[in-house]
Amino acid sequence: MTSDAVLQARNIVSGYGQTRIVDGISLSVPNGGGLALLGRNGAGKTTLVCTLAGRLPLKEGSIRLGGVEIGTLSPCQRCRCGIGFVPQERQIFATLSVEENLRIANLGGSWTLERVYELFPRLAERRQNGGGQLSGGEQQMLAIARALMSDPVCLLLDEPFEGLAPVIVDMLLDVLLRLRQEKAMAMIIVEQHARLALEVAEQGIVVERGRLRTGGSRGELLHRWEEIEDMLAVTH
């Protein structure tokens, strides 16, 4: 664990009912830093990030944000403490307009409508459209923008590029890289496309069957890329 970590998780155990999906994982993300969670489908990545966000109960271990234990807090309380979450399903309000979706999430921090619209000009153009009228790519923009409106110190993104056209992936990647360059917040990204995730994050860990298999800096993981690809390969 690094002394400047904004988010520290120790020996996380979580899952569904009596089933352990995540079994003893520890991680840390420095202030303004980025961490990629890599692994095959079913490895436990989404379970882990949902546990950090409070969507799943923490069975064992601890989660500290800025040195404060948040492992027993609700998702809403964690959001107010500084955890932003972009779920895989996006979960925007389909019957509300783009602007209403954003205003609901506004906690009065440094992220304003103007700042979000500058980052996502397409949302500014569509501000009066309902969430259900947006394309998949626009909905993902809105999901990220909504999380930013809560002024997070740590942003959790679960498969942000899944199912999107390459041109939208490139646009969202540019947005995340801009946020990273500005060190606007720490970031944890779950992503099947490991190289994309490592463009955003300086560090990465590989999760396998709910446990930490390996990890390291971007450079270290890319240097071992053949080995890492084998860990991530789909098996039949």
Domain match, 138 and 202 both: no
- For residue 199, being part of any structural domain is answered with yes
Residues of the chain with pLDDT below 50 are 1-2, 236
Domain match, 22 and 12 both: yes
pLDDT digits (tens, 9 = 90+) for 40-67: 988 999 999 999 999 999 999 999 999 9
Domain match, 100 and 123 both: yes
Domain match, 230 and 164 both: yes
Phi, psi of 120 (to 5 degrees): -125, 80
**Tokens of residue 132, six digits:** 């259900």
Torsion sign, CA atoms 163, 168, 171, 175:
negative
- For residue 59, being part of any structural domain is answered with yes
Domain match, 117 and 36 both: no
Domain encompassing residue 100: 91-151
Domain match, 162 and 59 both: yes
Helix (H, G, I), strand (E, B) or coil at 101: helix
Whole-angstrom distance, CA of residue 87 vs CA of residue 91: 7
pLDDT digits (tens, 9 = 90+) for 113-143: 999 999 999 999 999 999 999 999 999 999 9
**Tokens of residue 222, six digits:** 């890319």
How many other C-beta atoms lie within 10 A of the C-beta of residue 95? 10
Q: For residue 37, give the nearest of 214, 222, 163 by alpha carbon.
A: 214
Instruction: Note the pTM of the prediction, 2 decimals.
Output: 0.93
- For residue 69, being part of any structural domain is answered with yes
